[in-house]
Amino acid sequence: MENTLSIVSLIIAAMGFFLAVFIAVRQVQSEERHKRNERLMFLADRIFDSSIPRELRQPFYEEYISMKGNGTAVKFWLLEGEREKKALQPN
């Protein structure tokens, strides 16, 4: 009887350990996603900031793209580039 009880206790302890490791891994993954989202928002803010010259915003755009950023910031960047090209072309 004691032998069975110690085996059951050992199995429960092992399951608890694996559950704790699983929870810790999930927590780290969640924090990494959160950090990535914060960085993408920071980069998008720099991309949209027209008070910064376009050539100085280029590295922010490139990092944004490298982090798989897409959407409004990319569309803004491309449209802004097209507007600048049209403005530089002689009529």
pLDDT digits (tens, 9 = 90+) for 59-87: 999 999 999 998 899 999 999 999 999 99
* pTM of the model as a whole: 0.72
15-34, pLDDT tens digit by residue?
999 999 999 999 999 999 99
* Neighbouring residues of 44: CB distance < 8 A, sequence distance ≥ 6: 64, 69, 72, 73
Cα–Cα dist 55/52, whole Å: 8
* Orientation angle between helical segments 72-88 and 2-48, nearest 10 degrees: 20
* Neighbouring residues of 60: CB distance < 8 A, sequence distance ≥ 6: 43, 46, 47
User: Whose structure tokens read 């507007």?
Assistant: 83
89 and 59 in contact (C-beta within 8 Å)?
no
